[in-house]
Structure 1
Amino acid sequence: MSRDTTKRPAFEPASELAQAGPRDPRMRRPVPTSMGAALVLLRVFAGIVWLIALAAQWNDLIAEQVVDIPIDPDDPAVGAALWVILAFGGVLLLFDLVMALLIYLGFNWPRIVVMVFSTLSISGTFAAWWAGDQNIALDQTLFTLALDILIMLALSSRAARDYARRNDRRLPRVPASA
């Protein structure tokens, strides 16, 4: 199989970028798809670490953040709030884990969903930084921000797109001799 070695232009119209190549059900999984799924798994691992750290520091955070209202860290409502946050975070991480598996298997819709969430995460981090509410530091947001950017780069590549759309019946099929 020969590869096209012509250099792509620096700017391509969106209409041209949106067009997928011919479908090829025999296409091998490209590196960007595997790396995108691995990066989503890494994001799941980072989320687990974050939830564990939150649980470990919960009483200190409550005492530090809620200064105006005296709250007893041993109050059952405070403990219940932690469990609600942990349960919600666990559900989100489980969803991300399923998305990583489906991306690795080559489904297109999870690739799109993960890219949308990564875009929202990047935009939210930027908006918080712009408003002055959040610093981008190595121990806080830089790692997750970098993961989201790398996920976007991997999953938005042409190879990942073509692999995810390799079974799309609306596209012309690659001839068997190719």
Structure 2
Amino acid sequence: MTSPAKRPSYEPARRLLKPTGYDPDMKRPVTTVAGAVLVFLRAVVGLLFLAELGLNWNLVATQSAIAIDGLTDAEAIGFGLTVILVAAAVVILADVAFAILILRGHNWARVVVMFVAVLSISVAFISWWLEDLEITLKTSLLSTALDTLILLALSSRSAAAYARRNERR
């Protein structure tokens, strides 16, 4: 019985940077599917956040100072909720679109999602560091965990090879 070939714990940069081969018939790897599913989950978490925000908007709006010239307090509160819901809906729809593009094997979508995940994790860290915001389930723990898992899945060699399978070298 032969044992599978194991990769060393340290690999030279030359081997890590070696380009993937041209293989348009490559099967979609599990890492790509997992990354896309995690992006879909991030969209679902965004919807849950919007639902909670909508249910508790009066409390949130009364604790913050929303004052818009020419609008009453009630109109300003409604306008603020509308702006936040529309902006968040655009971001959630973008997440869904990126997940579909990742499943279809578009490398640029994979890179954009990884970049956004890095930004999100960085913002959570900076908020924790500078403002002493605790990372809990009620704050940014779930999104930070999802972003970390997205980075792990989409930055794998197999996900990169699948996304770049149609590139000729």
Give the alignment's TM-score, normalised by structure 2.
Answer: 0.88
| 1:41 Cα deviation from its structure 2 partner | 0.1
Which SS does the other structure have where 1:131 is aligned?
helix
| 1:14 Cα deviation from its structure 2 partner | 4.6
The runs of at least 4 consecutive aligned structure 1 residues that moved more than 2 Å come to 4-20, 64-67
After superposition, give the CA deviation of every residue in 1:80-124 in whole Å (9 maximum; x if it has no partner): 111011101101111111000000111100000000000000111
Q: Which residue of 1 aligns with 2:165?
A: 166
Distance (Å, rounded) in 1 between the aligned partners of 2:64 and 2:166: 51
Which SS does the other structure have where 2:38 is aligned?
helix
Q: Which residue of 2 aligns with 1:103?
A: 102
Greater displacement, 58-67 / 131-140: 58-67
Q: For the Cα contact (< 8 Å) 1:118–1:152, is it kept in 2?
A: yes
Distance (Å, rounded) in 1 between the aligned partners of 2:65 and 2:112: 35
Distance (Å, rounded) in 2 between the aligned partners of 1:110 and 1:34: 14
Give the length in aligned residue pairs.
164
| 1:78 Cα deviation from its structure 2 partner | 1.6
Match runs of 1:78-117 below 5 Å: 78-117=77-116
Distance (Å, rounded) in 2 between the aligned partners of 1:62 and 1:129: 24
Q: Which residue of 2 aligns with 1:11?
A: 10
| 1:13 Cα deviation from its structure 2 partner | 4.6
Distance (Å, rounded) in 2 between the aligned partners of 1:105 and 1:143: 26
Matched, 1:153 2:162: no
Q: Which residue of 2 aligns with 1:22?
A: 21
After superposition, give the CA deviation of every residue in 1:7-47 in whole Å (9 maximum; x if it has no partner): 32323355542332212111100000000000000000000
Q: Which residue of 1 aligns with 2:142?
A: 143
Q: For the Cα contact (< 8 Å) 1:108–1:165, is it kept in 2?
A: yes
Greater displacement, 15-24 / 90-99: 15-24
Q: Which residue of 2 aligns with 1:46?
A: 45
| 1:128 Cα deviation from its structure 2 partner | 0.6
| 1:73 Cα deviation from its structure 2 partner | 8.8
Which SS does the other structure have where 1:137 is aligned?
coil
Distance (Å, rounded) in 2 between the aligned partners of 1:115 and 1:14: 21
Distance (Å, rounded) in 2 between the aligned partners of 1:127 and 1:16: 34
Give the alignment's TM-score, normalised by structure 1.
Answer: 0.84
Which consecutive unaligned segments of at least 5 residues does structure 2 have?
none
Residue identity opposite 1:130 in structure 2 = W
